[in-house]
Structure 1
């Protein structure tokens, strides 16, 4: 999507027939199972299914042009790599100027390849960037827990504890602090389970700089050069001939 894009429900003129819009966006949701680089556009465009406009339609055609020019890209699963699990979690705090609801995003890697990713709006408005980041760390920890449980059932032993990389210092301190700050008590009920797992070192939350935060591409539109760089680092690359 265009980095200057500020799509809202009121942007543009409503389409007289929204059938094609809904059909294409619905199809893109299936393609998103193998293309994490379009996770954010799919998330964003799906929010206007009930009332799409010509501006939303132009954004859909932009995604289609991108896909037409990158048909050889995909995820390559490597065979001879250490079987470790790690994840990147990020949030775009209050970017939606219509609702001020933040966008959560995470990417989970197994053996160096992305196996699970998500780009979704949070259920409620977060009153600080730390709260927003903590919520996405909680979602990421929940996904890691499920993946580790699945690997255990398959008989796969992980050599190292899973790691969640987060670029918000406040959220990392909140994960480690056994006492909730008074201003954060309202999230204690929903997310206290995360601290249980983090204090047992499964998973471990580590800090990473914003420049190296791969999940950033799943939270907001980026300039083309930055988007291409992060897509490559995420693991969306030109596939070898089959």
Structure 2
């Protein structure tokens, strides 16, 4: 694949891969080997996080369509080998995160994909794109679960920074583009309308009320985690990459 023609995005925006897409692929071990390697690479490349998350769901029964999708990711990487995260020396010690969810985006079982990106100053330091374990009854519920996962990871990052002797100078903020999920994180009365949500997700309210965390609304067009929840167009991907913090070589 080193000499393959590069493509501008890791996935086709109109593709919604399913377990039944295509015919059974003959060499399942090759599929699993490549996707397993991509799982390590995505620790440095948030732009392929969703693609790797999606392709990992077909490890047990890959098809020819899934194999073509894997090769597209490799073609994308071949054309973006110089892309990475540039760490600046004068970065600030302040935490904030973007949280998003694609409601019922999985057409096999109608689960949602939750994603987050956590920033230390201007540097992305942690990110995730993951299929949620249960079906959400509303977009607010899916977004709220994503915020809960983000808050859990944010607590771990804060704990790690404290062990390293670094303390965040500002209150961490999670930016969510769903108004209902934002209200749900801070308003106890609003919880009466979401009794079906698992209790362990409501720990966000305690973090907000204690002053440890703040959940704020952000416009969908400014939601940096959007590209980690679904395939996006080439133009939107390029806009998001610069905002996320990925650059080609050392910035001037």
Deviation per residue, 1:71-117 (Å, 9 max, x gap): 00001111102211000000000011221100000000012100000
Partner of 2:175: 165
What is the aligned partner in structure 2 of residue 15 from structure 1?
A: 25
Separation of aligned partners in 2, 1:22 and 1:64: 14
The answer as to whether partners of 1:102 and 1:121 remain within 8 angstroms in 2 is yes
Q: TM-score, normalised by structure 1?
A: 0.97
Deviation of 1:14 (Å): 0.5
SS in 1 for 2:129: strand
- TM-score normalised over the length of structure 2: 0.93
Higher mean Cα deviation, 176-185 or 121-130? 176-185
TM-fit CA distance, 1:3: 0.2
- Mapped to 2, the partners of 1:49 and 1:217 lie a distance apart of 22
Q: CA RMSD in A?
A: 1.2
Please tell me whether residue 222 in structure 1 is matched to residue 243 in structure 2: no
Structure 2: gaps of 5 or more residues: 1-10
CA distance in 1, matches of 2:63, 2:245: 33
Distance in 2, matches of 1:215 and 1:59, equals 21
Deviation at residue 180 of structure 1 after TM alignment: 4.7
Equivalent in the alignment of 2:36 = 26
Tell me the distance in 2 between the aligned counterparts of 1:73 and 1:185.
44
Residue ranges of structure 1 left out of the alignment (5+ in a row): none
SS at match of 2:148: helix
In structure 1, the residue matched to 2:162 is 152
Q: What are the equivalent positions in structure 2 for 1:87-98 lying under 5 Å apart?
A: 87-98=97-108
Is the contact between residue 84 and residue 249 of structure 2 (CA under 8 Å) also seen in structure 1?
yes
Structure 1 stretches of 4+ with a deviation exceeding 4 A read none
